[in-house]
Amino acid sequence: MKFLVADDHELIRQGVKSLLRRLDPDAQFDEADSWDTLAAAARPDANHDLAIVDLHMSGMASAASLVALLKANPALPLLVLSAEESVEEMRAVLAAGALGFVPKREPANVMLKAIELVLSGGAYVPIEALSLITPASPQARTGVAETPPSMLQPHHRHLMENLSPRQQEIMRLVHRGWTNKMIARELGVAEGTVKVHLSVIFRALSVHNRSAAIALINGWLETGRTL
């Protein structure tokens, strides 16, 4: 797998890379230590399986920088690593399109589990972020924590027009009814990589499963567009 690790402290970058090697001993890495180096490294053709990004590097404008980053590369699965733990910042990070938020105070095993969860197609937030779900919301009444559609903005609305070549390929195969395992075998990638791409697409389209994504894609195709 290929990861982008962005933090202005080399010690933290090395620690994160060590954790990721537990998942894949042959993992490849790109690194960044500022907004400029992050923006340059996070180009769409780099095909990162996951970006782990410190929110407060030199040149970063907090979650606003994530919005710009994901608008330029909407296919990038991104997990935020931050020493700042305010609920407001967590809300902004999720709204920007990050798939998770991990406080730096968390022990290594928790961070590793969060990374594994995102790579498997899920999303991770610390327990403090449960307050993002208001008591009046349907999720709070049912006990099911889902990301409200309003939090899927602003970069998500751009994804349909900006699917990466890899994501277009994956969605063509999903549209044909292929399973994740079949897609992974066809494309020569790990099944976890397929799950990450699908998770990003599903969140972007405000859907929760393949059938809903296919229905939306069908509507997209009916308008004369191509995939």
The percentage of residues in the chain with a pLDDT greater than 90, rounded to a whole number, is: 22
Mean pLDDT of all residues in 34-48: 92
pLDDT of residue 12: 93
pLDDT of 10 = 94
Measured at the CA of 203, the angle between CA 201 and CA 205, to 5 degrees, comes to 70
3-class secondary-structure state, position 65: helix
What residue has token string 């997209």? 220
- For the chain, the average pLDDT equals 76
The model's confidence at residue 125, banded by pLDDT at 50, 70 and 90, is confident
Average pLDDT rounded to a whole number, residues 114-143:
56
Domains of the chain from N-terminus onward: 2-149 (3.40.50.2300), 159-222 (1.10.10.10)
Q: Looking at residue 217, what is its pLDDT?
A: 65
Contact 60, 33 (CB under 8 A): no
Region of residue 99 (phi > 0: left; psi between -120 and 50: alpha; otherwise: beta):
alpha
Report pLDDT for 157: 41
Cβ atoms of 199 and 77 within 8 Å: the answer is yes
| Residue 51 main-chain phi, psi, to 5 deg | -110, 130
Which residues are paired to 5 by β-bridges? 31, 52
pLDDT of amino acid 141: 31
Q: Of the spans 39-43, 113-117, 204-208, which averages the highest pLDDT? A: 39-43
Q: What is the DSSP letter of 32?
A: E
Distance CA 204, CA 137 (A): 21
Would you say 154 and 202 are in contact if contact means Cβ atoms under 8 Å apart?
Answer: no
pLDDT at residue 146, as a whole number: 38
Looking at residue 194, the DSSP 8-state letter turns out to be H
Mean pLDDT of 25-44: 94
How far apart CA 91 and CA 105 sit, in angstroms, is 19
Q: CA-to-CA distance for 54 and 15, rounded, in angstroms?
A: 13
The answer, yes or no, to whether residue 85 has pLDDT greater than 70, is yes
For residue 154, cis peptide bond before it (omega within 30 degrees of 0) = yes
Q: pLDDT tens digits for 145-182?
A: 333 333 333 333 444 555 667 777 888 888 777 888 89
Residue 10 CB burial class (10 angstroms; 0-12, 13-18, ≥19): exposed
CB 50 within 8 A of CB 119: yes
| CA 32 – CA 98 distance, rounded (Å) | 17
* Cβ contact 118:79 at 8 Å: yes
Instruction: Name the pTM for this structure.
Output: 0.60
53 has a pLDDT exceeding 90: yes
